[in-house]
């Protein structure tokens, strides 16, 4: 299975942009890069995903490196409600249906 590597923790000031990195150097051509976040005492929730091109939605932006070996989740203006653990995972098919998570990045927002 292709693995992802993320920093254990990050801090950011409220109302500042946040860039959360993820390395996936063994990514295959059919792997989609997904981001989920887990708020305290809740189940994970979807944030964004992409394959090759950068993606934007109402929650965040996803910047994917040209060689696809890394990606960055961008929260444009962090709020206290964005404090969570953020997981970067790869979704694939072609016989690899497992959906496995690493330890993620714990994001702390400083008021």
Q: Footprint of other proteins on this chain (CB under 8 A)?
A: 30-32, 34, 36, 42-46, 49, 51, 85, 87, 91-93, 97-104
Residues 6+ apart with CB under 8 A from 25: 69, 70
| CB 42, min distance to other proteins, A | 7
Question: In terms of CB distance, is 13 or 28 closer to other proteins?
Answer: 28
Separation CA 96–CA 10 (nearest Å): 31
Question: In terms of CB distance, is 10 or 32 closer to other proteins?
Answer: 32
| CB 11, min distance to other proteins, A | 17
Separation CA 84–CA 44 (nearest Å): 10
Q: What is the dihedral of CA 94, 100, 105, 108, to 10 degrees?
A: 120
Question: In terms of CB distance, is 13 or 84 closer to other proteins?
Answer: 84
């Amino acid at each position: 299975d292709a693995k992802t590597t993320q920093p254990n923790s990050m801090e950011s000031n409220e109302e500042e942009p946040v860039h959360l990195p993820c390395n996936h150097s063994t990514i295959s051509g059919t792997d989609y890069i997904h981001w989920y976040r887990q708020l305290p005492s809740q189940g994970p929730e979807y944030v964004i995903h992409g394959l090759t091109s950068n993606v934007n939605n109402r929650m965040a932006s996803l910047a994917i490196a040209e060689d696809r070996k890394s990606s960055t989740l961008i929260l444009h203006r962090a709020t206290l409600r964005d404090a969570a653990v953020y997981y970067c995972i790869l979704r694939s098919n072609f016989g690899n249906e497992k959906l496995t998570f690493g330890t993620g990045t714990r994001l702390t927002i400083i008021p």
